[in-house]
Structure 1
Amino acid sequence: MSRTFAGLSGTYNVRANELALQRNTKTVRCLVYFLDDTQHVFELDRRAKGDQLLDVVFRHLELIERDYFGLQFTETIAHSGHSNARWLDPNKRLRKQLKSSRAPFLLFFKVKFYVTDPSRLLEEYTRYHFFLQIRKDIFYVTDPSRLLEEYTRYHFFLQIRKDIVSARLVAPSAALALLCSLVVQSEFGDFCAEEHDPQYVSRLKLVPNQSADFEEKVSELHALHRGQTPADAELNFLIQAKALDMYGVELHKAKDTNGREIQIGVSGSGLLILHNGQKANHFSWAKIVKISFKRRHFFVQLRREGTERFDALLGFNSCSYRTCKSLWKACVEQHTFFRLQTPKPHTKKFFFFFSLGSRFRYSGKTEFQTLEENRKRLQRTDRTFVRTARFHQTVPIPHINNLMLSLSNGQSRDSFQSNRIQSTESPAKSAWTASSPFCLKSLPFIDKEETNRLSSLSDDSSPVHLHTVHMRPDADGRFGFNVKGGHDQNCPVLVSRVAPNTPADLANPQLREGDQVMAINGSDVSGLSHEQIVQLIRSTRGPDAQLSLSIRPNVYARDALLPEEPAFQYIPADASPTARADALAESMALLAEGLDSGSLVLQFEQLNRKKSGETMNCARLPDNLSKNRYRDISPYDSTRVVLRDALSGDYINASFVTMHVTTTGVALRYIATQGPLKETTEDFWQMVWEQQSALIIMVTPLEEKGRQKCHKYWPEEADDELAVFGALRVRLVQQSDCLATIERIFQITDSKTQEERRVRHLQYLAWPDHGVPERDNDFLDLIVSVREFRAQSSQPFVVHCSAGIGRTGVLILMEAAMCAMEANEAIGALELVRVMREQRAMLIQTSSQFRFVCEALHRVFRDKIVEPLPQFSIN
């Protein structure tokens, strides 16, 4: 009987064979989810380490600034049921870290280190990912402005946006509404009543539990962002998010010694302790002596203070050994990346096998090394990418023909998403401008030829087709086209404009805007500066001269894919000596052209806000923090004003700024400072006295829209008593009011020496909050008054607004440029801003301020309000 049933049974061990198959498999498959909700499977050797997977992921994304990002995976802790998020260790094998039995292994591409200054996230693509991250969980980063690649900023934008949606970043309702209004600006462009119905905001998932009242607030704020391109909106979003308490914080669950549930936040600034979502304590890295862990216990040793005899030791409990170690590793990585210049090398001891504890050390680059490497990188490959709604249907870029077909059928732009970023040689141009509200008719024109060309760009093996354009100059010796770019501008040489009915326009084949110039008269231009390229074209002269251009045709799609235009000039075949000598007239013509095209303002937005390598250590000392009106606006250590006899110390938030006029040898000296606080008023007057300043220029009211911009640091005229500031006594002697400027004269007396001086005070009141003056007449009158007084004193003038960078910078640039105009010098507004920012960070704060001062300069030149002095005029 048993023999009968034995033939009817059988067993096959599927699991054992599957495990054997996995052991014998020579490759592993990793599925990576990206911030734009796309995914990709990577196949690697089974013995590959984490750095090999990171490398192929970064190459897939074409990311240059890699060190801010990482891959995260989730592991389940045995016997506890808890899950723990871990960062992929680049020095360990994948199979040792990814122990899941499922294939492929699942990982998530995320921002790991959050930078502090969003304005320095120069790669827009990175900033975009960072924006999405904050939108999803609303914390992280330290200085987003430090990222040099636009593509990097784009990723940051994506990451932060995801963080907000997932409610990981908690913020007040008002702050969330402002952040989300910038999201809407990035998605839809300028508010357009005809295109945006009352429910247009609800089509975006912005925050958890999104209500109609919240959407109404977002819509109201969105209407105020007119003129901001998607890149502008994303950068402003990051700047606003940076001010949140939980910005840049990675949270870990724990318990305190009393068994209460807490969260320990790790960031580039230190450790944050949260209880019931509220901040309970914060320990900066400077206060921490040591961090350690043992099993499930995490310890923080704090430096002793004051009369304490011993260091304080705090203990916390994690739910498991694995989570405790993850918290400790996060602290090591954050501290090393943001605080050290180079990672501390791991020293191997001879008896290392007897050592106790983890030997983990952070092995990547620090932020300092990353920034240094980016500064040394002379050439970058920027990418063009199409911004569309991140939470809608996706369409890859090679299928642009389908996208355009759908648009022609009336489907909204918001239903499309590009999940493939095409690499080109220049950044993308915004699809809409400040002067035109976003609607379908403002989309860039892409014809069939451009569609085919864009599709071919996805194939790296596509051949480069060149053709030669021959042309002769017209009767006036002109060819009729403009070029821009060059090796010195880190930009390919492009045809930026072709005038109609000129030799360039009538050439066969025709020269077109967007064509890349590869060679001129047989000479390669790849290593030439912009000026050398100009001279090479100008050298083609004579009645029988012929200009030959080797052209890569139509490299960038018109409007949408042209790079942001740097300064360019009209290139004639010949120019008279007088025209070449009149540098001022030529520079003003270029300024007017740059204002008309918008290229000048775009270049201003790309300038470094701070000088690389400069430190601000004195401003960040604990005793000096309260002396700063804004915590992120500080003077450089090298140019700060040092007080000699102030009781509160030698620090004041003020910087020496000197602008030189080369031809005349004149040095315009300023002290750019913040509006005094109540507690810094005595230091302010002490600075005025020590620097022997005879003029104070105040470019702000005391209060704007209910917010104090500056403390009233002077006495009233009616007061008979003196205002006493330390050893100085200040009396208001005279005051005269006009429509825009109030002029005061103060008498200052040193009570120690009885020395007396008179100081003139000009307060300009015609500058509206968050804007620029509608007319420049009153502002020009102020500059005229300042210049008249300049002849009477060689000591530095004190200039301040509220922060001491925005309106203060405008005034300095205006006077310096007018003095250069008198000397008949070429005026490079961008270069002047660079010189100013090398002495005080962020002078001229917004693009609207820069446009205002440039327009005022052009009017001064055009209307001959200021003319070259006779000794510098061209006869």
Structure 2
Amino acid sequence: MIRVGNFGSMIESVSRRAFGGSSGTYNVRATELARDRRLKTLSVTVVFLDDTKQLFQLEKRAKGQALLELVFTHLELTEKHYFGLQFSDNGAPPNLANTDLMRWLDPTKPVKKQMRGPGYFYLRVKFYVSDPSKLQEEYTRYHFYLQIRKDILSGKLLVPPSTACLLASYTVQSELGDYHPDEHGPKYLVGMALMPGQTEEIEKKISELHKLHKGQTPADAEFNFLDHAKRLDMYGVDLHRARDSSGKELQLGVTSNGLVIFQNGTKINSFSWGKIVKISFKRKQFFIQLKREQGESYDTLLGFNIVTYRSCKVLWKSCIEHHTFFRLHSPAIKRRTPLPLGSKFSYTGRTEVQSMEEAKLRMKSEKTFIRCSSRKLVVNTPEEKAKTGITSSTRSSRPYDNKVTSLSHEPRRAWAESSPTNLGDDEGGFLERTVVEDHSRAFTPVLPPRTISYADEDPDLVERPTTATGIYEVSHIDSANQPCDDGLVCIRMTPDEEGRFGFNVKGGSDLAMPILVSRVAPNTPADRCYPKLNEGDQVLFINGIDVTGMPHEQVVNLIRASRDSRVGELLLTVRPSSVYDPGEAVEEEPVYQYVTDSTAVRETLEQSMAALSDGLMTGSLIVQFDHLFRKKLGLSTSHASLPQNTNANRYTDILPYDLTRVILECGTNGDYINANYVNMEIPGSGIINRYIATQGPLAQTVGDFWEMVWETGCSLIVMVTGLVERGRIKCHKYWPNIGESMEAAGLRIKSIRCHYNNPAGYICNTLTLHHIQSEVEREVTQLQYIGWPDHGVPDNAAVFLQFINEVRRCRQNMLEPTVVHCSAGIGRTGVLILMETALCLIEANQPVYPIEIVTNMRDQRAMMVQTSSQFRFVCTCILHAFTEGFCKPLPEYIYH
């Protein structure tokens, strides 16, 4: 045994050379520390959208995908591919000041290398869904709702004041439920963070809107919040700072549809993915190469200067990710090259199509989750409660307060394209003789559709949040004399900077006509206010003054005087055009007339479908539709206006042209019926599809309807409306029940078979027509489409196409015209004829131009395809039919 005290002297006596060559050492402590370092985990903090935090432990070398899976598992978030984790290069929380420093966690790289500062990551929506109805789970929609609220409150998403108040009212409905005067005091919104610049006056406006959402569950309110938010110009735009070649500051926005360019907050140009051939970057320069147009011998290359090289690459990556996620069915396969040049980045996650397919295959999960509160403070004392307007109530709490279970049904929508009083009726905006109001349905505000601005527009015409705030402006006008019954609407508006309200009126006591709105100019206070002023509305009161007995000039002077008053606000009380009968047809004043260029070179079918896709993405196609004439100039409707025929018209301003009207030979009430022949020729095929577009029969015109069916030899009737929708009669029941018979106009009509097709949403009714005098009998098929909702348009293009397929099957080898009707015989009727015409053009390998088809239809019957939402829907169906292979060119029309 060697004592420690002698160990040092012994080493000194030994040759250093001998010791080094024949001995060894083993560092026990260092080895154990190395073992501990290998076993050490990585601590990562994730901040969720409700601002709660969670600490996650990762293996030190774990990649980003591992952290993402931990987060999604912790949240039980199944539709996870829309989300990502963000961090900033300087480690600071996300805000407007460090937008250029924000990065997305790369799933393929180690988390350790992407951590900055204290190691905080923030859950955010990475890909903004174009329509909230695409999301299957209420829980997913709730996270989108939280994200957009955060975008609004932070100032990232700019919202006009009127829209911001409406969105805030949905938040209040989601958190507090229905408005109750005994529970919600005058200041019950104090302490809730609802929108930037929130004031007491704004809270009053939000409260008024909150009262209108009665009956909506939190899921309903959040769904409607998202549906209005998706229409905002800046919704889902990933902005990046840039400069053009002259040094002007720009912002490049990456969206689901392509690239958008902003200057000083105004959109000056947009490029859809369909027009972009290639995107690239080199150092701090970003390039997009555009598709070569017809007649061009070179491609267009646009370049932009980005702030830093890193920011330029981030922009480039964002383009790749958005294009892949929204445009491809699956990510592109990464090919290996022997000498790779440039960045090797590619998007490796799921696409939107894959995500939706996964969600449909997976059963909807019944989650229970807690909704976070918007309250900025906690009220405890009675004094504080009184200050914020919160009172105690014995009313039992709602079953869905705070803690809710995911709903299996579709949330109740609260939007439409038409005026609020119309609530989205597809035949709305026209003057109906018989109106049955539905007072049981809760009223919910509707915003006008988003307008599209272009680089060559006058900047003064671009919507400014500071003007035309409409109903949300505080009025100082005494409205005690304003009538407020259910049939009237009060509209407030302020003039623009040039002192204009943007609408015209006609009529007056001197003209023996009511005061009617004759024109509303686009993008003016009258067009942007809420509720929106519409052509055909009857003006009853102006600033509380009854104008029903005033001459025209006095009414105009009264409107001008309000512009020059101290308040500068105009308050109109109107009876919307959809709920009154002025006693005579109101002739429309066409402001625009869009004429297609027939001299242009015809495209191939594929080129026309690409143009259709681009037109839908950029909105240019909808703008063209809005500028089409609705009634053909020079075509008279004198027969429809004859006194003996006026009672045969369901709507007083939807009248058949004399030139193409159906003339009855043996009509019980004469030769008149509200119907037009509409013939659609398919070029290159020799096919002419013949239709009769007509209104839904009235009780007094059922005999005329069946007489028309008999005289024209029709054997197919297509009905695209319900008998009653939202309490309003749309069509009189003109056929008997199954097994029963009825007589009309010398005909005995009997129903012999009835079949309901559930997937395609239609009823097939087989009828026999027996002519009593001649004893001749004929079989007629009636197809009634019931899959069209009572507002808006169908949600499922595939289901609608199944019904169109059945119509086409029944029309095979038919030379006689097919009778098509809805209520007015123009809206859904026009959609069906446009859809079938487009499918025939595809089969004939001919280009499809929906604008030309609508123009052709309106040459034969006025106003065919009534609203832009209907036109957008049918264009989407055409594109779906072509891209999904539902309809293909027939072999005999394919030229080799």
Flag the structure with larger Rg: 2
Structure scoring higher RCO (CA < 8 A, sep ≥ 6) equals 2
Instruction: Give the TM-score taking structure 2 as reference length.
Output: 0.48
